[in-house]
Amino acid sequence: MKDFILTNLVGIVLCLIGLLGGGIISFIFYKKSISIAKPVFQYSNQNIIDISNNDKEENLKVYYSEYNIKRLNKTHIYFWNSGNKTIKGEDIVKTEGLKIVFEDKNGRILLAKVLKYSRKVCDFNVMVSSDDRREISFNFDFLDPNDGVVIEVLHTFEKSKFNFTGIIKSIPDGIQNYGYILPTYRKKDPKFLINNFSIVTFIDFVVGVLSIYGAINIKSLPKWLFDSSQTFNRIFLLIFGIFFISFSVIHIIANKSNNKMPRKIQLLDK
**Interior angle at CA 154, CA 162 and CA 138, nearest 5:** 60
Rg (the chain; Cα; Å): 27
Q: Note if the pTM is more than 0.85.
A: no
Q: What is the pLDDT of residues 162-187, one digit of tens each?
A: 999 999 999 999 999 999 987 554 44
Q: What is the pLDDT of residues 101-111, one digit of tens each?
A: 999 999 999 99
CB atoms under 10 Å from CB of 18, counted, come to 10
Q: Which residue has the higher pLDDT, 236 or 260?
A: 260
Predicted pLDDT of residue 197 = 57
Q: Which residue has the higher pLDDT, 204 or 152?
A: 152
Average pLDDT, the chain: 80
SS3 for 195?
Answer: coil
Burial 151-181 (b: 16+ CB within 10 A, else e): bbbbbbbeebebebebebeebeeebeeeeee
Q: Of 268, 266, 78, 116, whose CA–CA distance to 188 is shortest? A: 268
| pLDDT over 70 at 248, yes or no | yes
Predicted pLDDT of residue 187 = 43
Predicted pLDDT of residue 193 = 45
Predicted pLDDT of residue 51 = 84
Q: What is the pLDDT of residues 36-91, one digit of tens each?
A: 999 999 999 999 998 877 665 667 888 888 888 989 999 999 999 999 999 999 99
Greatest mean pLDDT range, 6-15, 25-34, 149-158, 228-237: 149-158
Q: What is the pLDDT of residues 204-233, one digit of tens each?
A: 788 878 777 767 676 655 554 455 455 556
Question: Are 113 and 152 contacting, i.e. CB atoms less than 8 angstroms apart?
Answer: yes
**What does each C-alpha distance from 247 to 90, 200, 203, 260 come to in angstroms?**
42, 10, 10, 19
* CATH numbers and ranges of domains, the chain: 2-34+189-269 (no CATH), 39-181 (2.60.40)
Q: What is the pLDDT of residues 109-122, one digit of tens each?
A: 999 999 999 999 99
Greatest mean pLDDT range, 25-29, 123-127, 206-210: 123-127
